[in-house]
Structures are given as C-alpha cells and as structure tokens.
Amino acid sequence: MSTSVSRLLALLGLAGLVLPATGCCTMARLFCGPDDSRWISESYGSPAATLDTFQESLRRADRQVLLRCLSEECKARYGLDTVSIEIAWRQLNDAVRGIHLLGTAERGELQPLGQDRVQVELRVAGRSLRVTLGRHRSWELHWTGADGSAMEDGAYVDSLDPYLIASPEDAGAATRLAITLPPVDARLEARDLRFAGLVVDWRVEGFEVEGAGPGDEAAPAPTPGTR
C-alpha cells in the first residue's frame, strides 16, 4: 500500500475502525455507494458546520471538499494535496469497502479545548474516532487578472488585530470598522476585486482513534503559514 494511502487510512481512523455491513440501512448504504444527490452546503464558519461538511464529503466521496476540510498542517502531515488525494482515494476504496459509511457516523457533543480548539467524538461500528478542530484566522484577497483569470492571495495569521481597527461611534451602539490588508505583488484597481477581507473559519486539525498508537494522536495547535 502506498505511503499516501497509509496516511489517509490513519487520517480517517480506519486503521482502528471496522465498518460492518449489519442492519438494513447500513447494508443499503453500503451497496448503493456514495450519496450523489445535490450538495446542501459547504461551510466552515463554525465547528458544527465544518463537521457537517467533513462528514458529507465522506458520504459523497468528494475528495476535494474533504481536502478543504483539513488545516494546512493536517494536509502536510499526511502528504495530501489536490492530486495525491485523488490517487489515494481510489486505492483506499479498493482497500476499505464502504468507506463512505463514515459520513453517517453518530456525532457526540462538542468539547472545548481552550478558546480556539474543540474536539468531538464520532462513533461508528462500536468504536470512537475523536476529531480535533481549530479556529483559523486569515486575510484573503481575490481579484480578476488582466487576462481574465481568477487570482488570489492571503495568509493565515495569529491575530486579526494588526489588520482591523474598530472605532465605536460617538452615539448609539454602532462601531466603525476599517480593514487594512498587506501589500500584494500585483497592480490592482477597485473594479478588479472579487473579495477583500478577513476570514475566521474552522478546519480539522487531527484525529485520535480509540486504542490507537501515538502516530494517530490529534495534532498540536497550528502554526500560521501561507494559504
């Protein structure tokens, strides 16, 4: 089995999980394959929204959405990018029948791990997979290039404070906000912009399988880096 498949197996906790085909509903989902109905949403604005997206990506075998659920550190740890995850997933399907059933795992309550991290337990086949999610802050700039192509820049940051000035108004409860982004290596005009702003979202940082070894433990807190 290739290194990327082994990493993906560990990432999804399948090294310690067995997916039994028991029960009418489970059997039906197993033989019907991944869900191919229309997506309801893809969102990362809260831990619950990211978990919804993560599980739906598994249920639908949508590899690119699954990849977007992961933090940059998590993707680097398991050697995953837009190309390798496609290769790994095809091999993973051959190795683990019914992998999409992880998308229907029962979810426990969110447990805070400090201010910017939470953990939740996913239960499937009588085993537990603990998923750690972290809050990530970034600045983003999207624009249309001179040739009409979609361009973007941005970076994860420790704090939004250097980029955001909040000034309470003299009267009432209103607050004036001013956002300043770092310089970008491009000549832009206002009409070129598609999005400019600050983003706070939640991504999957790590996993811990019940009874697994140290290699399957949840990841440490993220280090800001280029998006």
Give the span between the Cα atoms of 173 and 210, in whole angstroms: 49
Final residue of a structural domain among 133, 149, 176: 133
Instruction: Answer yes or no: do 107 and 158 share one domain.
Output: no
Does 52 fall in a domain?
Answer: yes
Does 76 fall in a domain?
Answer: yes
Instruction: Answer yes or no: do 45 and 129 share one domain.
Output: yes
The answer on pLDDT for 17 being more than 70 is no
Instruction: Answer yes or no: do 156 and 46 share one domain.
Output: no
For position 201, what pLDDT does the model report?
96
Instruction: Answer yes or no: do 183 and 89 share one domain.
Output: no
Final residue of a structural domain among 87, 108, 133: 133
Does 35 fall in a domain?
Answer: yes
Write out the residue range of the structural domain in which residue 152 sits. 136-200
Q: Which of 127, 85, 86, 90 is nearest to 106 (CA)?
A: 127
The answer on pLDDT for 5 being more than 90 is no
Residue pair 36/185 in contact (Cβ under 8 Å)? The answer is: no
Question: Who contacts 53 (Cβ-Cβ below 8 Å, separation ≥6)?
Answer: 41, 42, 43, 44, 65, 68, 69
The answer on pLDDT for 49 being more than 80 is yes
In percent, how much of the chain has pLDDT > 90?
Answer: 45
For position 179, what pLDDT does the model report?
95
DSSP designation for 86? H
Which structure tokens are listed for 100? Answer: 């999409």
Instruction: Answer yes or no: do 7 and 46 share one domain.
Output: yes
Q: Which of 149, 163, 174, 147 is nearest to 199 (CA)?
A: 163
Instruction: Answer yes or no: do 101 and 172 share one domain.
Output: no
**Sign of torsion over alpha carbons 9, 10, 13, 18:** positive
The answer on pLDDT for 180 being more than 80 is yes
Q: How far is CA 213 from the centre of its chain?
A: 23
Across the chain, what does the average pLDDT equal?
A: 80
Does 223 fall in a domain?
Answer: no
pTM of the model: 0.77
Final residue of a structural domain among 103, 133, 163: 133
**Buried-state track 110-142, b at ≥16 Cβ within 10 A, e below 16:** eeeeeeebbbbbbebeebbbbbbbbbbbbbebe
Amino acid in the structure at residue 68: R
Instruction: Answer yes or no: do 105 and 140 share one domain.
Output: no
Q: How far is CA 92 from the centre of its chain?
A: 19
Instruction: Answer yes or no: do 183 and 71 share one domain.
Output: no
Does 206 fall in a domain?
Answer: no
The answer on pLDDT for 1 being more than 50 is yes
Instruction: Answer yes or no: do 16 and 96 share one domain.
Output: yes
Beta-bridged to residue 190, according to DSSP, are none
Does 112 fall in a domain?
Answer: yes
For position 21, what pLDDT does the model report?
47
Number of domains in the chain: 2
Beta strands in the chain (DSSP E): 106-107, 111-112, 117-124, 127-144, 150-157, 164-168, 175-179, 193-209
The answer on pLDDT for 224 being more than 50 is no
Does 213 fall in a domain?
Answer: no
Does 78 fall in a domain?
Answer: yes
**Sign of torsion over alpha carbons 134, 135, 137, 142:** positive
Instruction: Answer yes or no: do 115 and 141 share one domain.
Output: no
222 band by pLDDT with thresholds 50, 70 and 90: very low
For position 37, what pLDDT does the model report?
61
Beta-bridged to residue 176, according to DSSP, are 167
Average pLDDT, integer, range 24-48:
65
Instruction: Answer yes or no: do 117 and 149 share one domain.
Output: no
Instruction: Answer yes or no: do 24 and 75 share one domain.
Output: yes
Amino acid in the structure at residue 83: V
Give the span between the Cα atoms of 3 and 16, in whole angstroms: 17
